[in-house]
Chains A and B, each alone.
Chain A
Amino acid sequence: MNRQIAKLGAVLLVCYLVLFAQLNRTTVFGAQRLKDNPENNREILRDYDGPRGSIATADGVVVARSAETDGDAQFERARAYPEADLFAHVVGHYSLNLGSTGVEDTYNAELVGRTLDLSFRDINDLFVDRDGVGDLTLTLRADAQRIARDTLGDRRGSVVAIDPRSGEILTMWSFPSYDPNLIADQDFATANDVFTFLNAAPDKPLLAKAYRERYFPGSTFKVVTATAGLESGDVTREQPVYPVASEYVPPQTTRPLRNFGGSSCGGDLFEVLRVSCNTAFAQMSVDLGPEAMIGTSEDFGFNAEPPIDLPGPAASNFPTDFDQNLPALAQAGIGQNDVAATPLQMALVAGAVANEGIVMTPRVLDTVRDDEGTVVEDPAPNDWRRAMGADNAAIMREAMINVAENGTARNLLIPGFEVGGKTGTAQLGTDPPRSHAWIIGFGGRPGEAPSVAVAVLVEGQEGASEQTGGRVAAPIARAVMEAILAAQGAG
């Protein structure tokens, strides 16, 4: 019997070794996969009542913080957003029952102090229990953000400003916005009602439209078409000279494509960009062909989600299936047809021109500091895409400065700075005539690399003339750029 007992012991030992191996797998090696499982909300629950870092803007305004509650409250801490709706679409909200969005979501690990840098600085931290939360500083500026809010007013729209050299987002505002304090309320029934109401509102105030909603870019897209021309080599400063015409009939159709108000235009690249000549850009797009247009669009970031550090960015769209449908390609060349872009993407287009053709990875996080104020995370600027060569970027930059100084974007000019831009008016319908008013642009000290790039969209404006973008959107962009340039000069 003794031999069997020895074997039995060995078998039981193996059984327990299997348990030990599985325990290792579940608690340590496979734990992250289980924690990341969308059905696992343990971490949210645990974090919810724990300490949580604050969020401040680049100019030192606190936009989210955790405050201790009264003694008899259900939870020890409550999240508060002192600036209410101003940063709702960037910072988001942090709620137990309604989840979290924005920076509260993407940087949750930093805010609760669960990153390696925050939780484990040296071996002592294994034994000492610290409130190892991270305090975030954003790249956005509260002063410029307020100007964006005030100048846009109660018109639906979005304002995005970036530093084209680094990809840092300086301003990102959409109207309508919402007050995250209402969603984060610990009276869950009320919060739920507010959320349901906001979610059903036709203006979609909960949606961060600046990077999650797509619109026809209209004539601002001509910057992309012009870049495609330069990059292909078929278009230069001087050649070709597009015929002065009031309409252009693409191949394969008899339906002409017209200029705004039936006007006639034509000329070289600078001239057709200055007056935003539809017929010339439609012809340019058809001449370049689908491959060149798709290629350059995607080099700017179209058809890909931008790698921004905010949840759920929308990919801007440029059609990839023209199937030799040249009339569609002609429309796409002037930002119509199925072309759709987020305001963020259009700011990146202006930024690429300003930054020698390089699209930087957009981001909203400047630094993470630990509880002692030491910087533990300081992300470096990253290239995302190369939209064009530096030589062509210099040409495009000059062409856009020409548009601001002599063309449709005059309202963008800021005395003492070198400013370039491109307007856009994306028609939505003719009865009554309505359109999205756009402007994209950049600004900086003369002779230096531009230090700010913007995109402004004002939705659903009455009327539909090429002037709309310059008249409606440009003053907002100018005010925001002015504030940022002043702050950069002071800094």
Chain B
Amino acid sequence: MHLLRRRTELGLILVVVLITAGAYALAGLGKNSEMPANIGPFLGVILGLLVAAHIAVRKLAPNADGILLPLAALLNGVGYVFIVRLDEAQDEGGQLAGLQSLWTAVGIGAFILTLIVVRRTRDLERYRYTFAVIGILLLVLPLVPVIGRTINGSRIWISVGPVNFQPGEAAKIVLAIFFAGYLVEKRELLALSTFRLGPFHLPDPKYLGPVVLAWGASLVVMTLEKDLGSSLLFFVLFVVMLWVATGRTTYVTVGTSLFAMGALFAYTQFSHVQDRVEIWLDPWPVSKDEGFQVVEASFALADGGIAGTGIGLGTPTRIPEVETDFIFAAIGEELGLLGGTAILCAYILMVGAGLRIALRADSAFDTLLATGLTTLLGIQAFIIIGGVTRVLPLTGVTLPFVSYGGSSLVLNYVLLALVLRISDNSVKPATTTGGGAEVTAA
């Protein structure tokens, strides 16, 4: 029925493979003045991975949107090329590139697995409270002694054996599922105003419980785990979903005020929050210490100019954490305004596609879930690019699909699979089950 979408997807994927392989070859030429020796195998592996993902969509979600997977693959491919390039330039490098290719394979595996396991989003809706519990557990897991790890000042890691993992990445998705289920159930009650507080018309206080709970959870993340970015992300996610579900602007106002109060409290109580804000406002007095990263990122972007220095020809490794939080600065330096804008366009196109899927979704749950997941992706990229370019105070989150990091990459592929699942559902003829597993691809 929607074979056209699959053809579009395959065509775009081939373009992405060419762009990625071309960028990889350029990086080799820029760095060592010769073609990378393994360009053939490299081409084969990414082609294999992406075609596998494409075939999975063809079989498992044949009617799903056709541009999301290629966009994610483009971001993943560009990110991978930069990680290889940055890794080679580091003194003790050589580790990250191999791991990231492994994580990409795992991510695509997780993408396919999600499409296989989640055949109907209604199954997710049914287990919403289970997801709530899992989400809260994942959120506080890093605080558990023994397995919790503090890396770069944030206690957002757990270590089990040799594997380090950020459970917060999974918590985002799980909580988005819970919010969607909860809000579908309660949105009519939440939209009623039976209670006045000053200028605000609020619903019955007992329905406000979850709002306060989400606020509390995000404060816990901010203060105990010192993860400002995720804290902001959780709260924005919840407020946006609440607002979309109820249509009540009051929630945005109240939510923003609550968050502002929390942020102000954190600012006055915690030095790491103060540091971040002060560096954002004026990094120059501490440009050799705390502000070094942001200052170097600005210098890198300034070096980039319109067209960039060329991949492999800049000096982005001067920026600490350039493979993860600051990878956008490396892209801006070596691909310039044009490359940076291409990345921005990829995200805004993904946001557009995601919200379009939300608008066309079959059920209220699907609409809310697609909105929530899309918001997660769009806001997370906005928060970190904004931090790197000094639009916002720096809060360390990864750049979805681009940054180095297994947890983030794998779970963003899961997120993508869920959005594609919703998309696939929405274009099928409505059936009593709302699902359509019996409909096979033409």
**Residues on A facing B (Cβ under 8 Å):** 1-6, 8-9, 12-13, 15-16, 18-20, 22-24, 26-28, 30-32, 34-35, 37, 39-40, 42-43, 45-46
Contacts and interface: CB of A to CB of B under 8 A. Distances in A.
Secondary structure of the B contact surface, majority rule: helix
B348 A8 contact: no
Given A8-B371, A42-B299, A23 B244 contact: no
Nearest to B348: A16
B357 to A, nearest CB: 10
A27 B301 contact: yes
B328 to A, nearest CB: 9
Contacts of B247: 1, 3-4
B21 interface: no
Interface in B299-356: 299-306, 309, 315, 318, 332, 336-337, 340-341, 344, 347-348, 351-352, 355
Interface in B357-395: 358-359, 364, 367-368, 371, 375, 378-379, 382, 385-386, 389-391
Given A26-B301, A45-B315, 14 more contacts: A5-B359, A6-B355, A12-B378, A12-B379, A23-B301, A23-B340, A23-B389, A26-B390, A27-B302, A28-B306, A35-B302, A39-B295, A42-B300, A46-B315
A2 B359 contact: yes
Interface of B: 240, 243-245, 247, 284, 287-288, 295, 298-306, 309, 315, 318, 332, 336-337, 340-341, 344, 347-348, 351-352, 355, 358-359, 364, 367-368, 371, 375, 378-379, 382, 385-386, 389-391
A23 B240 contact: no
Contact of A22 (B244, B284, B378, B389): B389
Contact of A23 (B243, B337, B352, B382): B337
Contact of B303 (A2, A4, A42): A42
B203 to A, nearest CB: 17
Contact of B382 (A15, A24, A37): A15
A18 B348 CA distance: 12
Contact of B287 (A8, A31, A39): A39
Best-surrounded residue of A1, A24, A45 (most CB of chain B within 10 A)? A1
A19 B352 contact: no
B344 A16 contact: yes
A40 B302 CA distance: 10
Contacts of A6: 355, 359
B298 A19 contact: no
Contacts, number: 116
A40 B288 CA distance: 11
A45 B375 CA distance: 41
A19 B302 contact: no
Contact of A27 (B240, B340, B347): B340
Contact of A26 (B245, B302, B309, B367): B302
A42 B332 contact: no
Nearest to B347: A16
Nearest to A24: B337
Given A5-B367, A26-B301, A27-B340, A42 B315 contact: yes
Nearest to B386: A19
B207 to A, nearest CB: 18
Contacts of A31: 301-303, 305
9 contacts: A4-B243, A5-B355, A13-B351, A19-B391, A22-B389, A27-B306, A27-B337, A39-B284, A39-B288
Nearest to B391: A22
A39 B287 CA distance: 8
A30 B344 CA distance: 20
B385 to A, nearest CB: 5
Contacts of A1: 244-245, 247, 364, 367-368, 371
A1 B244 CA distance: 5
Contact of A13 (B245, B300, B302, B348): B348
B382 A12 contact: yes
Given A8-B355, A34-B298, A27 B332 contact: yes
Contacts of B301: 23, 26-27, 31, 34
B382 A19 contact: yes
Contacts of A26: 298, 301-302, 332, 389-390
A24 B304 CA distance: 11
Contacts of B315: 42, 45-46
A9 B344 CA distance: 15
Contacts of B284: 39
Contacts of B375: 8, 12
B299 A34 contact: yes
Contacts of B385: 19
Please provide the 4 A-B residue pairs with the shortest distance between their CB atoms, ordered closest to farther.
A34-B302, A31-B302, A4-B244, A26-B301
A46 B385 CA distance: 25
B355 A35 contact: no
A2 B295 CA distance: 41
B389 A9 contact: no
Contacts of A9: 351-352, 355
A471 B201 CA distance: 99
Given A15-B382, A39-B295, A20 B302 contact: no
A12 B318 CA distance: 31
Contacts of B243: 4
Contacts of B344: 16, 19-20, 23
Contacts of A28: 305-306, 337
Contact of A30 (B240, B302, B341): B302
A410 B368 CA distance: 99
B348 to A, nearest CB: 5
B188 to A, nearest CB: 12
Nearest to B313: A46
B240 A8 contact: yes
Contacts of A2: 359
Nearest to B304: A27
Contacts of B300: 42
A23 B348 CA distance: 15
A22 B355 contact: no
B390 A22 contact: yes
Contacts of A35: 299, 302-303
A32 B375 CA distance: 35
B294 to A, nearest CB: 11
Contacts of A43: 303
A451 B375 CA distance: 76
Contacts of B379: 12, 15
A20 B390 contact: no
Given A5-B359, A8-B240, A26-B301, A18 B391 contact: yes
A39 B382 CA distance: 28
Contacts of A5: 244, 355, 358-359, 367, 371
Contacts of A46: 303, 309, 315
Contacts of B341: 20, 23
A24 B344 CA distance: 12
A209 to B, nearest CB: 34
Contacts of A13: 348, 351
A15 B392 CA distance: 11
B351 A12 contact: yes
A27 B385 CA distance: 14
Q: Which of B302, B336, B340 has the most CB of A within 10 A?
A: B302
Contacts of A3: 247
A30 B385 CA distance: 18
A83 to B, nearest CB: 33
A42 B390 CA distance: 20
A35 B378 CA distance: 31
A201 to B, nearest CB: 30
Nearest to A2: B359
A372 to B, nearest CB: 24
A23 B338 CA distance: 10
Nearest to A26: B301
A12 B348 CA distance: 8
Contacts of B351: 9, 12-13, 16
Contacts of B390: 22, 26
Nearest to B318: A42
B332 A23 contact: yes
